[in-house]
Amino acid sequence: MNVFNPWEVKGDIDYGKLIKTFGVEELPNIDDLPIQFRNNLLFRRKIIFAHRGFGQIINSVKNKNSFVMMTGLMPTGKFHIGHMLVAQQMIFYQSLGAKLYIAVADIEAYNARNQSLTDSRNIAVEQYIKNYIALGLKPENIEIYFQSDRSKHKEKSNTYYRLQNILARHVTFNEFRAVYGGISPGKMLSALLQAADMLHPMLKEFEGMVPVVVPVGIDQDPHIRLARDIASRCKEFQFKELCSTYHLFMPGLSGGKMSSSDPNSFIALTDTPQEAEKKIKKYAFSGGKDTIEEHRKYGGNPNIDVSFQYLKYFFEPDDKRLAEIYENYKSGKLLSGELKQILIEKMSMFLEHHHKELAKAERYLDRYI
């Protein structure tokens, strides 16, 4: 396993080093991408910064050809702002016309986390799917499925699980160990099912041989690489090259990783505005100086300031306004408390609106329960 820690916030992002470490490719200059990508905050701000095989997707968008965006969710804990990063990409690709495949990794939760399938189903629906819909995911042109219960169509189910079983011949234990570290039979089955998740949309029982893009955090690249390697050995299917994009991580409130077991490391999308305000005031790591005098004199560091990062990742979509905040904070004109207050206001508005959308989303959940 690579020792790179993608959750560390340490100032300027060394994209070159990240790209070299993982052997991925840099995304083309944003001005060379179709207009829709330029309009997308995550692409424009290089939060999504690298890829494998993404040319296929760019061409599909340009030529209005079919393609699939595939992703998964681990049904544990509360849905929080860190999860929004992939949710935003779902909504973006849906707006581009992509068919979406969303796998609920309930088999992985069972095998790797001892969680019952029933608990997984409830958490997936109540926390994840509900929030996706509230965020704007449309329940059309989408397959949200449980790994344990792939489809209501027998050809689809048989094909999906057949693929899992067939992929097994084309991989070794050592390859699994290299990607997953300690490996057990349960984890191995989950890993093969994950590879099937990524590849099965290309089979004729699903979408046929269309490009599939899987957006992941950069630390997940070993999983992508493994699926790509296995696919290339499965000659009988003639899979297209699996595409992927890589994004940075949204830091936890204190600058480390968001952890489901530590509610003070994240803002949940069900937190009240008051709870969010309290967490930001108390826990959000600041890039400011120790005293107001020093801050005014030397300025703060927005690159390590968690409040600024949250504005950049999601809550301040206006580039010009974000640049002003950046400059004002860096120059010392904007104090840390003031920066936090900007985030608190944006976050409150977002949460209030989102909670109304959550209530409306209820009506779409029946089909998943």
Q: Closer to its own copies at the Cβ: 117 or 142? A: 117
Biggest alpha carbon distance in the chain? 69
Among 19, 81, 107, 250, contact with its own copies (rule: CB under 8 A): 107
Residue 89 Cβ, how far from its own copies at the closest point, in Å? 27
Q: 60: burial class by Cβ within 10 Å (0-12, 13-18, 19+)?
A: buried
Q: Does 236 help bind its own copies (rule: CB under 8 A)?
A: yes
Strands (E), the chain: 25-26, 48-52, 68-73, 99-104, 142-146, 212-217, 243-247
Q: Does 154 help bind its own copies (rule: CB under 8 A)?
A: yes
Q: Quick one: which of 250, 301, 264, 209 has its CA closest to 87?
A: 250
Among 8, 14, 32, 149, contact with its own copies (rule: CB under 8 A): 149
Among 164, 244, 309, 336, contact with its own copies (rule: CB under 8 A): 164
50 backbone dihedrals φ, ψ, rounded to 5°: -145, 175
Q: Does 115 help bind its own copies (rule: CB under 8 A)?
A: no
Q: Does 148 help bind its own copies (rule: CB under 8 A)?
A: yes
Among 162, 278, 333, 346, contact with its own copies (rule: CB under 8 A): 162
Asked whether 93 and 61 are in contact (CB, 8 A), the reply is no
Is the sign of the CA dihedral 21, 22, 28, 33 positive or negative? Answer: negative
Q: Does 280 help bind its own copies (rule: CB under 8 A)?
A: no
Of 158-166, 216-224, 256-264, 316-324, the segment contacting its own copies by CB under 8 A is 158-166
Q: Does 36 help bind its own copies (rule: CB under 8 A)?
A: no
Residue bearing tokens 């890993």: 191
Of 42-50, 188-196, 203-211, 310-318, the segment contacting its own copies by CB under 8 A is 188-196
Q: Could you tell me how many residues of this chain bind its own copies (CB under 8 A)?
A: 36
Q: Does 157 help bind its own copies (rule: CB under 8 A)?
A: yes
Residue 164 Cβ, how far from its own copies at the closest point, in Å? 8
DSSP H or E run through 265: none
Q: Does 15 help bind its own copies (rule: CB under 8 A)?
A: no
39 to 78: interface string for its own copies, x by CB under 8 A = ----------------------------------------
Extract the tokens encoding 129.
Answer: 């799917």
Asked whether 48 and 176 are in contact (CB, 8 A), the reply is no
DSSP-derived secondary structure letter, 239: P
Residue 13 Cβ, how far from its own copies at the closest point, in Å? 37
Of 20-28, 44-52, 70-78, 189-197, the segment contacting its own copies by CB under 8 A is 189-197
Q: How many CB atoms lie within 10 A of CB 122?
A: 13
Q: Does 178 help bind its own copies (rule: CB under 8 A)?
A: no
Cross-sheet strand order for the sheet of 99-104: 25-26, 48-52, 243-247, 212-217, 68-73, 99-104, 142-146
CA distances from 32 to 211, 359, 366 (A): 20, 40, 42
Q: Does 185 help bind its own copies (rule: CB under 8 A)?
A: yes
Residues lying near its own copies in the complex (CB under 8 A) are found at: 107, 110-111, 114, 116-117, 147-154, 157-158, 161-162, 164-166, 168-169, 171-173, 176, 184-186, 188-190, 192-193, 236
